[in-house]
Amino acid sequence: MIARGVVQALAGLAVMAAMLFAPAGTVAWPQAWVFLAEIGGCGWAIGIWLARHDPGLLAERMASPFQRGQPLWDQVLVAAIIACLFAWLAVMALDAARWHLSHIPLWAQALGAAGILVSMVVNWLVFRANSYAAPVVRIQEERGHRVATGGPYRYVRHPMYGGMIFFALGTPLLLGSWYGLALAPVVIVILAVRAVLEERALAARFADYAAYAARVRYRLIPMLW
């Protein structure tokens, strides 16, 4: 499984690099290299941690984003997220590296890098608290699926999606694209829609989910929504 994870990680980074450097028309784009190093380094660290502490979740994270038992609406939303991610990266590459339309100060780029790091730390905290945090919405009956209520789930019902907000805002800042920042709400809205539909699936399967939702009032952002 480790060898497979290495191959998948390298393939994912290669695809992401292609989506950045091909539209940019150059590899001389330091911010993109920082982005790839940050994503790759954090991804490796989390993967190693999962291999040691929760290989079952690692297997789920390595599985296809389209699976048997996954609702059709989630397949559509996952496809939309993937398409938006690729288009988003291409827009930022064209803006920041090929056409040089945006000019984001260095301090804001550093803030963006910090936001990406925060999102990765949130992911790790989610994995510590929820062994069923698969990339697809699917009740994992074969793994004894239960409602996660500890760790970051004590503050919001979808902490991974909340963490993705830091990624969605941090990435365009780091890469230096105001246009990318303007498009970030599209990704956030898709995640918000998925959160609502995922809650319906969990409430329909788990009798204790309603009580948890009543206790933890916010979905993504404490004190807001």
pLDDT per residue of the chain (225 residues) written in tens, 0 to 9: 666 767 787 888 999 999 999 999 999 999 999 999 999 999 999 999 999 999 999 999 998 899 988 999 999 999 999 999 999 999 999 999 999 999 999 999 999 999 999 999 999 999 999 999 999 999 998 999 999 999 999 999 999 999 999 999 999 999 999 999 999 999 999 999 999 999 999 999 999 999 999 999 999 999 888
Interatomic CA distance for residues 73 and 76, integer angstroms: 5
Interatomic CA distance for residues 96 and 100, integer angstroms: 5
pLDDT digits 0-9 by tens, 180-207: 999 999 999 999 999 999 999 999 999 9
The length of the chain in residues reads 225
Q: Which domains does the chain have, with CATH numbers?
A: 2-215 (1.20.120.1630)
Model pTM? 0.93
